[in-house]
Structure 1
Amino acid sequence: MNKPSNTDSAEQKITRTVSVAVIGAGTAGQNAFRQASKTRDDIVIINEGFWTTTCIQVGCMPSKLLIAAADRAHEANHSADFGVHATTQIDGKRVMERVREERSHFASYIKKQVESWPEDKKIDGRAYINQQGLIEVNNELIDAKKIIVATGSSTFIPDGWADKLGATLLTSDTVFELNDLPKSLAVVGAGAIGLELAQAFTRLGVEVTLFNRVKRVAGLKDDDINNKAIDCLSHELTMHLGSDIKDVGTRHTDTQDHPEQTAFINYEDSAGEARQWQGEYVLVATGRRNTIKQLGIENLGVELDDKNRPKNLSIKTGQIGDLNVYIVGDANAHIPLLHVASDEGYSAGNMICGNEKDAYIRPPALPFSIVFCSPQIVNVGMSLPEIQQDPELEYVIGRVSFDNQGRSRVMGVNCGLLHIYGCKKTDRILGASMIGPDAEYIGHILATAITNDLNIKDMLDTPFYHPTILEGLRTALRDVQHKMEIPYQYHDTQEDSF
């Protein structure tokens, strides 16, 4: 690698020279290391902390394990309308114990894979790139021809909150270590993590209050879908949307001669009234941020913007301009999702092979996100604001409500709305946004259609079995076609209810 010159620094002794150094052993880093190892023997992977992944350790898997327990409890407690009456007893310690047990089970597969890698290619420690562009880690100084940065992200905590809240502060990195369910909990942030955990803890009997600075949930950009999401979720969630948190802290109280520490949040509600929340814990779910700035990445010639995102990033490979530097996964802050990190790591690992022409590069991932609250929230492809900002796009919105959709009503999950954004010039789907039952499956179908360039007629020629929730997708597609003024034999914009 071309190292920046620095005549003021003392000459340092290089302890190892390698073709490739991968920094970070999460989803992106592990994929990059595996692929690069197929063509390069002189390679190292450097990692600080756990050698599994964010998804397995503190993200996707433990949160879904908690949601699974919560859904069991919710169904048992809300079956009276079906003539089924039950009383549940929730064992909070067992709930949290199972989350960790199953998490360990999933992590064991990753650990076995990592253990199979040669020991001399794994370095456990914090890497720093010095002014000569060399990697300092432990007592080593490594000269790498190419560097793949996959250092992931860490939870974001507002300034001063950690000191003010102390032991009452939780994040998605620590919440799964609780030995028991708390009695009360404030969740700050109504993004994917905040929504999922707030609802899960609510369904498990915790008194939860959800705060968000804006009157939006899950980052939804379609106003109608956002409003419907708030309507559906507010049936069981206590939400203070549009609230402005002024201060946080703790106070000591004596309860039956036992001193306790209570957290508090001082805030203004959406009407501007000063209010206070008090409870056991504050779960901060205000997002995650990459940590590459502290890596010394600028010493490789990488420029960052004001949000620490690398400039000149290739979304296909993660390469930074013409530098021999690749930044992949959450580290590049492009689309912080596991499947994107996996593809970016795979592509970067392939790029370092000698014959770059034949390297297999996975195409950029289609924007596709799922929030596993109930009802689920899905966004696929272009968002409505993105479409509206492009004067060349002539679009229509196909719509279906799930409030009276047949199978949804049968199942008692009939709250939801789907918008499909169709392009009138091409008869193709530009994107979609949805809250509703089975949204994860509808989202996958729409993502497949966009990826494979299927037109609306192609979609409607596909069988839709009756009675299924997926019939709602057909109704929305028919509405798209009707608004495009394309004749169709079975045109019907009504909901598939019966």
Structure 2
Amino acid sequence: MEKADVIVIGSGQGGVPLAVDQARCGRKVVLFERAALGGSCINYGCTPSKALLAAAHAAGRARLAAPLGIHAEVKVDFERVMERVRSIRASFSQGIERRLTEAGVRIVRAEASFLDPQTVTGGGLQVQSPLVVINTGTGPAIPELPDLKGLPLLTNLNIFDLEKLPRCTLILGGGYIGLELGQGLARLGSEVHIVHNHDRLLNHEEPEVGEVLAEALSRDGVHLHLDCEVNEAIYQNGICALTLADGQTLRGDAALLAAAGRIPNTAALGASAAGIDLDKQGYVVIDEHFRTTAPGVYAIGDVARQPAFTHVSWEDYRRLQAILNGEQRTRSDRVLGYAVYTEPQVGRVGLTLDQALAQGHRARAVTLPMAHIARAIEWGHDLGFYRLVVDEDTDKILGATLVGYEAAEIVHVLLAHMQAGSTWKILEQSVHIHPTYGEALPSLARLLTQ
């Protein structure tokens, strides 16, 4: 039995900086990781997907440039695209290992499980510590379909290992992973079919968001099968066939991508041995200060049902570090923003109008189409809209939905206003540079004066 001051289970974007900071303070830190260092973001999520989309969107923009008078013939070197994706991923992961090692963190490359609240075992090692932090994240949910388990299934865990572009890719799920990868593969040259069991894409967002993205995807040749269930999945002679409830049969060349949600990586933790409660879906139950139901055990990131974004996991590390130092932080004490990296992008912050009204705000929303923004017209990016939600009693900005070119960047302006407690009147009075996409934000706020 070894002794440590801190045990971290999982090397995601919250666990790594926490382990490093604790080690640099002179504490003995042991980090368990069963897979590649860096967690989902570096290995299966943000880093490889955005590297792939860099190539895909370059190709897509060129093909769709005819309205600008540009007629391009695009040739995609898929092998080179994927080599670049994997080289960036490897570089980032190696950087994580160097960072941990230089800080003095002991890395145990094994799956970890609890023997009791203060004892963790893995790789033939038992470690005891008064402080344990769980940062194991989530993994892809596999739909429960007949014969699906026998198929050579793609998920975000293995899709970036592809050597050859699938001629036809079938995707289960119309959430952000399915849409980003679906549009990306289509722009790289694959015939893509997205099967979604809701009547609109990104069904957790406002209806207009899904409508805009459906139009954008159709321009890229993506086939959408909405409000559709799969009755049967068959794999034979290198072909995957899906039979839909409406009688259609879709065939892909061994390329079926499951992107229908996430499940927590808690099955191997042995949570019950430590007295750690899990909810009905298997997520770790925590309080406002990240404490689990076991003494001395904390959980951060999406394994604890925090929003599944890298920046949230990283902020969870900062919150927990502050709490451990005696400061007053809670699990949701910052304004939350996020983005979807389709083209057009979706930038979101705070509440939608429906959410604001449900929470009791006397709220109002205004919307500005991208087709009314000079920069969008000039650059040919007129698909989408900007929407602002405000509190009519306080003038505070409650939230925003931006759908347009580089909306993931533009939304930070509104996030900063909200974090500072600013109002829409301050935004309306701001003088933004012309011609820019950001210039439209004061124009959007001015709609509230009408």
TM-score normalised by length of structure 1: 0.84
Pair 1:286–1:365, CA change in 2 (3 A)? farther
Pair 1:471–1:23, CA change in 2 (3 A)? same
State the distance in 2 between where 1:157 and 1:225 align.
26
Contact 1:26 1:52 in 2 (8 A): yes
* 1:131-146 map, 5 Å: 131=116, 134-146=119-131
Task: Report the CA distance between 1:359 and its aligned residue.
Answer: 8.0
Count of residue pairs brought into register by the alignment? 448
1:408 is paired with a residue whose SS is helix
Which deviations, in whole Å up to 9, do the C-alpha atoms of 1:123-170 show, x marking residues without a partner?
221111125752122222222211101111211112367854532x11
Task: Report the CA distance between 1:21 and its aligned residue.
Answer: 1.0
* 1:460-479 map, 5 Å: 460-479=428-447
Contact 1:416 1:436 in 2 (8 A): yes
* 1:62 corresponds to: 48
Match of 1:414 among 352, 373, 382: 382
Q: Which amino acid aligns with 1:198?
A: G
* 2:186 corresponds to: 202
Task: Report the CA distance between 1:188 and its aligned residue.
Answer: 1.1
1:126 equivalent to 2:111? Answer: yes
* 2:351 corresponds to: 382
Pair 1:105–1:243, CA change in 2 (3 A)? same
Which deviations, in whole Å up to 9, do the C-alpha atoms of 1:34-70 show, x marking residues without a partner?
2222445232111111112311111111111111111
Contact 2:10 2:39 in 1 (8 A): no
1:107 equivalent to 2:93? Answer: yes
Higher mean displacement: 53-62 or 294-303: 294-303
State the distance in 2 between where 1:412 and 1:191 align.
26
Task: Report the CA distance between 1:193 and its aligned residue.
Answer: 0.9
- Higher alpha-carbon Rg: 1
State the distance in 2 between where 1:362 and 1:388 align.
23
Match of 2:269 among 291, 295, 298: 295
State the distance in 2 between where 1:467 and 1:333 align.
41
* 2:142 corresponds to: 157
Pair 1:398–1:159, CA change in 2 (3 A)? same
* 2:317 corresponds to: 345
Pair 1:41–1:359, CA change in 2 (3 A)? farther
Higher mean displacement: 433-442 or 203-212: 433-442
Q: Which amino acid aligns with 1:200?
A: G
1:295 is paired with a residue whose SS is coil
Task: Report the CA distance between 1:235 and its aligned residue.
Answer: 2.6
* 1:377-456 map, 5 Å: 377-390=346-359, 392-456=360-424
1:274 is paired with a residue whose SS is coil
Match of 2:80 among 94, 99, 103: 94
State the distance in 1 between where 2:417 and 2:41 align.
27
1:248 is paired with a residue whose SS is strand
1:308 equivalent to 2:282? Answer: yes
Q: Which amino acid aligns with 2:251?
A: Q
Contact 1:19 1:40 in 2 (8 A): no
Contact 1:220 1:226 in 2 (8 A): no
Q: Which amino acid aligns with 1:274?
A: G
2:448 is paired with a residue whose SS is helix
* 1:240 corresponds to: 225
Pair 1:115–1:38, CA change in 2 (3 A)? closer
1:145 is paired with a residue whose SS is coil
* 1:263 corresponds to: 240
Unaligned runs of 5+ in 1: 1-14, 253-260, 483-498
Q: Which amino acid aligns with 2:37?
A: W
* 1:255 corresponds to: none
Contact 2:337 2:350 in 1 (8 A): yes
Which deviations, in whole Å up to 9, do the C-alpha atoms of 1:193-224 show, x marking residues without a partner?
11111001111111001111102223443223
2:248 is paired with a residue whose SS is strand
State the distance in 1 between where 2:331 and 2:102 align.
26
Identity %: 25
Task: Report the CA distance between 1:192 and its aligned residue.
Answer: 1.1
1:298 is paired with a residue whose SS is helix
Task: Report the CA distance between 1:29 and its aligned residue.
Answer: 0.9
Task: Report the CA distance between 1:459 and its aligned residue.
Answer: 1.0
Unaligned runs of 5+ in 2: none
Task: Report the CA distance between 1:347 and its aligned residue.
Answer: 2.8
State the distance in 2 between where 1:143 and 1:188 align.
42
Higher mean displacement: 209-218 or 420-429: 209-218
Task: Report the CA distance between 1:17 and its aligned residue.
Answer: 2.3
Q: Which amino acid aligns with 2:195?
A: F
Match of 2:252 among 274, 279, 285: 279
Pair 1:132–1:382, CA change in 2 (3 A)? closer
* 1:222 corresponds to: 206
1:74 equivalent to 2:57? Answer: no
* 1:326 corresponds to: 298
State the distance in 1 between where 2:28 and 2:70 align.
64
Match of 2:2 among 16, 23, 27: 16
Which deviations, in whole Å up to 9, do the C-alpha atoms of 1:407-441 show, x marking residues without a partner?
11111111102221110001011111232123112
Pair 1:345–1:400, CA change in 2 (3 A)? same
State the distance in 1 between where 2:331 and 2:3 align.
29
